[in-house]
Amino acid sequence: LMAATNPIFKCVVPFYGGNIMGNWGPGDTPFSMAANINCPMLFHFGSEDGNPSPEDQVKMDAELTRLGKDHEFHSYQGAGHAFMDYTNPERHHEASAKAAWPRTIDFFNKHLK
């Protein structure tokens, strides 16, 4: 949502992407504002996440592709929402976290250096 409303970002890396399909209050949904994003995006999702669901992840990917937006999606098998949260053993998915972190650093190195 921030990348759709603030042009200062050079790139963004949403983890989980919760609540982007629904309304947060008055105004457009984050999903409907995708056309306003003008920076590269790297998304990390858990395959077992319900917010957004795997189906919503497919919709987001299709919409960003349709809009010609520079984006990359990664869905981690067996991971749920907040899989990077090492302080919460029920949510933390170590294999996914170990895969997502280097991808994020590489993405930042590519777009911010």
pLDDT in tens, 55-106: 999 999 999 999 999 999 999 999 999 999 999 999 999 999 999 999 999 9
- The Cα–Cα gap between 47 and 94 comes to 14
pTM passes above 0.85: yes
Mean pLDDT value across residues 17-21: 77
- In angstroms, the Cα distances linking 71 to 27, 28, 34, 45 are 24, 21, 11, 13
Residue type at 2 in one-letter notation: M
- Is 90 inside any structural domain? yes
- Is 9 inside any structural domain? no
Residue 70 C-beta-side C-alpha neighbours within 13 Å: 11
pLDDT at residue 64 in the model:
96
Domain that holds residue 47: 41-54+69-113
Residue found by looking up tokens 């990359």 in the block = 72
- Is 24 inside any structural domain? no
Residue 11 C-beta-side C-alpha neighbours within 13 Å: 18
